Amino acid sequence: MKVIVDIGHPAHVHLFRYFALEMKNRGHQVLFTVRDKEFEIRLLKQYKLEYISFGKHRKSKAGKIWGLFFFTFKLWLVSVKFKPDIYLSHGSMYAALASWFYGKPHISMEDTGNWEQVRIYKPFTEAILTSKSFHIKYGNKQIFYDGFHEIAYLHPKYFKPDDSVFQLLKIDKERPYSVLRFISWNATHDAGQKGLTLSDKIHLVNELSKFGEVFISSENELPVELEKYKISIPPERMHDVLYFANLFVGEGATMASECAMLGTPAIYVNTMEAGTIDVQEKLSLVTHFRDNNGVLEEAVSILRDKSKRNKLKENNKVFISGLINLTEFMVWFIEQWPESFRIMKENPDYQNRFK
């Protein structure tokens, strides 16, 4: 079997990384296609995954419209040469359209619910796989699984925390630290949403610095006041950083959810609602704020009370044990397509064999 996996974000490399390795071990071919946006290509190289880059990602509205045609055409050309049996992506409009032109099925993993993307790719997509916690319904094409995207690569079977990351951070292992994540707000699903203001960020960093080190991961260039806090590590080590952190505060739902998988206290600051975050908040794995009000107080409370962090690690173990191994589920779903779709529609509990 030949599979094209189209990705548009570093998190997508992680999402499909072990899927690709397992498929390769089973004798299949997996080819990644990518736009050069952040550090996707670095990750693909690091994990020795076969890929083709279509060049720079377009950020402007006009560029995105042009890119829809340009990147779809490039992907179709790759398809003619590679001859895929199936396409897999995280809500990729390019993969959906190219699959339709090429005449092969497209399977989408979805957890953002970006209506601008979904309304384009859904008509050309055979199945949309979402978490049970996902709050949007897509009709008969939707398959619900008991898990989250982040468990595909942070499942204990795959992720083993490596404390050598302290050497990269240049701090002692006993030194507490917090991680902050600021997003660019350029994604289409970020339109009309907001998080922390610049003054909020500066004040938060100043206060959290009283409790230990502060490291900032940011999609945009940081202002001069915060530049010295910018984290400088290989991107593939970020999950080690999150695992050993005493606290995470960020505007991005992905890292907040990753912390939920890792048992790290997480504060998510964004007006955007996310079904995954809602479920994780109910389980006291993530705290969601729509604005800055209360963020600092909650952060200080977590840093002052070590018992909260220890309890979260214990709750996390129970939480993870109830989720499926999403990577193994994806491998089965793709290998057995289209029979897998029928099985999941008739017997959704079939997925429990992947726990």
Residue-wise pLDDT tens digits, 341-355: 999 999 999 999 999
- What fold, for 2-155+324-354? Rossmann fold (3.40.50)
What is the SS3 assignment for 277?
helix
Of 101-110, 221-230, 273-282, 286-295, give the lowest mean pLDDT range.
Answer: 273-282
Q: What is the pLDDT of residue 192?
A: 47
Closest CA to 152 of 320, 342, 27: 320
Residue 191 has pLDDT above 60, yes or no: no
Distance CA 318, CA 189 (A): 32
The pLDDT tens digits for 261-281 are 999 999 999 987 776 788 888
Non-local CB neighbours of 265 within 8 Å, separated by 6+ positions: 246, 247, 248, 259, 302, 308, 309, 312
* CA 212 to centroid of chain Cα atoms: 27
Cβ neighbour number for residue 296 with a 10 Å cutoff: 16
Strands lying side by side in the sheet with 142-145: 51-56, 29-36, 2-7, 86-89, 106-109, 127-131, 142-145
Closest CA to 127 of 112, 141, 146: 141
Element (H, E) at 286: strand 286-289
Residue 312 has pLDDT above 70, yes or no: yes
CATH architecture for residues 165-321: 3-Layer(aba) Sandwich (3.40)
What is the SS3 assignment for 8?
coil
Domain ranges of the chain: 2-155+324-354, 165-321
Average pLDDT on 318-334 reads: 95
2-155+324-354 and 165-321 agree in CATH topology? yes
Residue 63 pLDDT level (bands cut at 50, 70, 90): low
Q: What is the pLDDT of residue 195?
A: 66
Average pLDDT on 317-330 reads: 94
Locus of tokens 């900032």: 216
Cβ neighbour number for residue 221 with a 10 Å cutoff: 10
Residue 219 pLDDT level (bands cut at 50, 70, 90): confident
Q: Taking the model in full, what pTM does it have?
A: 0.89
Residue 120 has pLDDT above 50, yes or no: yes
